[in-house]
Amino acid sequence: MTDETLAQRSTIKRRLMRSIGSTLIVAVIMVAGILTWVGNRDAKANLINDLTVIGQIIANRSSTAMFFADFTDKDVIEKNLASAGFHSAIDLICVFDKEGKLYHTFAKPEAHSQCQRQQSSINELNFTEDNNVIRVRVPILHEGEHFGLVEIYSNNHGVNQAFLRFSITLAFALTIALFVAYFVGGRLVGSSLVPLRDLFNTSQEVAASPYANIRANKKSNDEIGDLVDVFNQILDTLETDNAALMESESRFRVLAEHAPIGIFLRNRKLIMEYTNDRWCEITGLTPSQANAFTNNIDPKDAALYESVQDKARSQHTPQVIEYTYTTPQGSRRTLMEHLAPLNNLQGFQGFVGSLLDVTELKTAQMELEKLAFYDPLTDLPNRRFFRGHLELTIAAAKKYDKRLAVMMTDLDDFKKINDTFGHDAGDQLLMQIGKRLKAASASIDVVSRMGGDEFMLLVKNIDSSSQLDHKANNILRALREKMEINGQQVEVGGSIGIAVFPNDAITYEELIRYADIALYNAKSMGGNTVSYYSSDLDKRIKDKMRLEQKLRVALDKRLLEVYIQPIYDAATREMIKGEALVRWMDPEEGFISPEVFVSLAEESGLIYDLGSLVLEKVCAYLHEHEGKLHLLGMRTIAVNLSARQFFASQLVTYIEATFKQYQIDPKQIEFELTESMVMDDVDQAIDIMRAIRNLGCSLSIDDFGTGYSSLSYLKQFPINTLKIDRSFIKDIPEDKNDVEIAYTIIAMAHNLGLTVVAEGVETKEQWQLLRDKNCDYLQGYYFARPMPMSDVLMLDNVINLLGDGSR
């Protein structure tokens, strides 16, 4: 601070001295005024007192003269009056008689007053002041009698001169006192302000070195001393806060420098003031190049970046933006920036922000979205995508009065391919099927894989039923075309179920469900066909589902019964064994044919529970009635295995566990397999049959002659028995072809060392013919119908045939 500035600046001392001086001056003026007023008043009082005394003297002297007026000369009064003229303040003396007439007078040459006749006598002393002239009246009395009046007129010159002298003396004395007081007060104020000056000097030192350990010295125990204490407390607090701030700044700097994210700071002019190493790594810029950062933002994101930056600055709120960035090295990255404005009382001060390289995260997110909406194997839309797209398409179709269709398809022989060639081959098949469906569909149609071998097609803008038929047939042809899997040509078929909007349904759920019902119907018709949804079809399916639910309950509660149909020796007519056949008597619907509920169990997967029920009840029969059955000759009971049961991975383990549970000799059980079933996978079927034979059970091929098995395969099957299908028995002996077929099967089986059972024998002629052709065993209504075990136990060992052949 310059000397000129210091000279111009108002200091506390100056202000205090001005205040003290002003106070003293005001006090001196007030004292001088009071003293002057008092002195002037006293001077006038003294003058009036002097005049009164002089008047009384003149009145006393004049009273005798006037009493003896006739004898006294007026010269005596004149001398009295003249003697009073010595007083410098007296200008005029008037003596009046008792009538008020001027009796005698004395006047100085410079007197301006004149004696005036008195109108009345004045008996009391009084005085008046008028125009700086003091008039004193003293009555002339002699022995209490009024003889006249003395009036003395006086000027204020003496009083004024005395007042002036007094004022000058007083002013001089007060001025000296004022200067002495100002000098002494200045010294006292200066000494009182020494601690404050020291505090100021200390504060200057603190300002020059804010982090030095400087403290003010307390020199007085007064308000300034209290101020020193507070000042030192503030310094202590600042030192503590500064230490904490430096520690915090140190931690922040370490954190910022080693943070896994980019950190930056821009000032209010948006100039980059700080960037950490990670920020430089992400952007590919050096700290000196940091201000060129925005030049590398993708042009399509540059305007958005500016708007977000302006929004953060204007709204004083943090913002997040994601944009594409190209590093100087040419690498394109997706960056996410968190931008927070810095504000104080002066307003916007800049930005602090963080920068993340989310390129990999964005790629992963896209992959996750693809996984969420697309099938990773076929790269087709998945169920979730299909649903959302179908809902949007339905809304558009409602708005523009359009028709659309949902086609649901699955492969007829996919499991066979999977089991034969492995799951990798199955995946290759699904990928090729997806491509074929895509190629067979229009560009606006949506092909989706719903899971497994099930695909869904959304067909848009349907103009006619023939158009939909044509598209469905194209898809069937695409599914039937041969394809190469692992170097081999394979052929799979497909079934298609179709539901149409708005004819069949108007919601997503209904369209999908109705297409599924139609597909179910197509597969039940043998597959490789197209089925449209209809209300009649819906009713049949619902009836089927209702029956399936009933079957499920019946199996859970074990309400189905296992009947036994005896099998007899064709020559001796002795009971040899029996076949277990399941029967269902529903309380509401009565007897339900096995052809109905067994196929239903196959389709619904309940065949496992059904097969388990049959095997366990047969084992229970054998365990409970073993002795009686042996007496009847029924040492073996045949149990049918379905295809699903037969190829189940735990079949052999389950059979063995069941035998142990019921303590059954495996020789007491014979398993019947259909010819078509074992031909699905010959090699696996042979392995399973051998495992069953190793348990000790016997095997038979049921319905022989209806399939396509060759003799070479038949030779490999580890079986014991062939059963001639009833379709070759029911028309003999009339149908010669059936007779020849039966003879051929019997001869072939015997040549292979197998026994033969003919089923469906219902007449005496059929029995006799088959007996004559050396058929081993017979089964049919002619001998015995399927019956409960209680009825079996009541049979005889040998059948007594009636002459008419009836039972």
Q: Among the listed ranges 192-201, 357-366, 398-407, 441-450, which one has the minimum average pLDDT value?
A: 192-201
| For residues 688-696, average pLDDT | 94
What are the tokens at 669?
């059980």
Angle at 464 between CA 463 and CA 469, to 5 degrees: 125
Q: Among the listed ranges 183-187, 283-287, 497-501, which one has the minimum average pLDDT value?
A: 183-187
Q: DSSP labels for 547-587?
A: HHHHHHHHHHTT--EEEEEEEEETTT-BEEEEEEEEEEEET
CA dist 486 and 157 (Å) reads: 151
Work out the pLDDT band at 13, boundaries 50, 70, 90. Answer: low
Residue with structure tokens 């100085």? 108
725 phi/psi in degrees, rounded to 5: -60, 145
The pLDDT, as a whole number, for residue 74 is: 64
Q: Among the listed ranges 598-607, 615-624, 704-713, which one has the minimum average pLDDT value?
A: 704-713
CB contact at 8 A, 57 and 76:
no
755 Cβ contact partners less than 8 Å away, ≥ 6 residues apart: 720, 721, 722, 749, 776, 777
The pLDDT, as a whole number, for residue 124 is: 65
Work out the pLDDT band at 803, boundaries 50, 70, 90. Answer: very low
Q: Which of 726, 645, 649 is nearest to 678 (CA)?
A: 645
The pLDDT, as a whole number, for residue 553 is: 93
| 3-state SS, residue 230 | helix
CA dist 618 and 452 (Å) reads: 37
Q: Which of 270, 272, 209 is nearest to 235 (CA)?
A: 209
CA distances from residue 660 to 427, 466, 625, 641, 692 in whole angstroms, order as listed? 41, 61, 17, 19, 15
Range 549-792 has CATH code 3.40.50.620: no
Q: DSSP labels for 239-306?
A: HHHHHHHHHHHHHHHHHHHH-SSEEEEEETT--EEEE-HHHHHHHT--GGGGGGGGGGB-HHHHHHHH
Quick check: 152 pLDDT over 70?
yes
CA dist 424 and 259 (Å) reads: 46
CA dist 467 and 499 (Å) reads: 14
Among 3.10.20.600, 3.30.70.270, 3.40.120.10, 3.40.50.1110, name the CATH number for the domain at 383-533: 3.30.70.270
CA dist 601 and 239 (Å) reads: 88
CA distances from residue 738 to 171, 330, 756, 771 in whole angstroms, order as listed? 167, 85, 16, 15
| For residues 154-183, average pLDDT | 77
pLDDT digits (tens, 9 = 90+) for 787-799: 999 999 998 777 6
Q: Among the listed ranges 207-221, 279-293, 442-456, 733-747, which one has the minimum average pLDDT value?
A: 207-221
Quick check: 807 pLDDT over 50?
no
Q: Which of 353, 342, 273 is nearest to 320 (CA)?
A: 353
What are the tokens at 589?
């619907």
The pLDDT, as a whole number, for residue 68 is: 63
CA distances from residue 429 to 141, 192, 328, 490, 493 in whole angstroms, order as listed? 165, 106, 47, 9, 12
The pLDDT, as a whole number, for residue 141 is: 81
Kindly report the length of the chain: 807
Strands, E assignment, 358-403 = none
CB contact at 8 A, 506 and 496:
no
CA dist 472 and 409 (Å) reads: 10
pLDDT digits (tens, 9 = 90+) for 24-75: 778 778 877 787 778 777 777 887 887 788 878 887 777 766 666 554 556 6
Helix (H) or strand (E) holding 712, with range, is helix 711-716
The pLDDT, as a whole number, for residue 584 is: 94
The pLDDT, as a whole number, for residue 134 is: 81
119 phi/psi in degrees, rounded to 5: -85, -25
Beta-carbon count within 10 A of 217 CB:
10
Work out the pLDDT band at 782, boundaries 50, 70, 90. Answer: very high
Output b/e per residue, 480-515; b: 16+ Cβ within 10 A: eeebebeeeebebebbbbbbbbeebbeebeebbbbb
What are the tokens at 261?
């994210």
Residue bearing the bigger pLDDT, 175 or 144: 175
pLDDT digits (tens, 9 = 90+) for 385-395: 899 889 999 99
CA atoms within 13 A on the CB side of 560: 30
The pLDDT, as a whole number, for residue 805 is: 42
- CATH fold, domain 259-363, is Beta-Lactamase (3.30.450)
Q: Among the listed ranges 362-371, 408-417, 446-455, which one has the minimum average pLDDT value?
A: 362-371
CB contact at 8 A, 655 and 684:
no
Same fold, 383-533 and 549-792: no
For 765-771, the CB contacts below 8 A with 24+ separation are: 765/732, 765/733, 765/805, 766/729, 766/732, 766/733, 767/570, 767/805, 769/732, 769/733, 769/739, 770/570, 770/729, 770/732, 770/742, 770/746, 771/570, 771/571
Work out the pLDDT band at 802, boundaries 50, 70, 90. Answer: very low
CA dist 189 and 166 (Å) reads: 33
Amino acid making up residue 608: Y
Q: What is the pTM of this model?
A: 0.49
The pLDDT, as a whole number, for residue 672 is: 93
CA dist 621 and 694 (Å) reads: 23
CA dist 593 and 583 (Å) reads: 8
Looking at domain 13-166, what is its CATH homologous superfamily? PAS domain (3.30.450.20)
CA dist 83 and 81 (Å) reads: 5
The pLDDT, as a whole number, for residue 73 is: 53
The pLDDT, as a whole number, for residue 761 is: 94
Bridge partner residues of 138 (DSSP) = 150
Domain chopping of the chain, boundaries: 13-166, 215-250, 259-363, 383-533, 549-792
CB contact at 8 A, 378 and 431:
yes
Work out the pLDDT band at 567, boundaries 50, 70, 90. Answer: very high
Output b/e per residue, 96-115; b: 16+ Cβ within 10 A: bbbebeebbbbbeeebebeb
CA dist 492 and 433 (Å) reads: 10
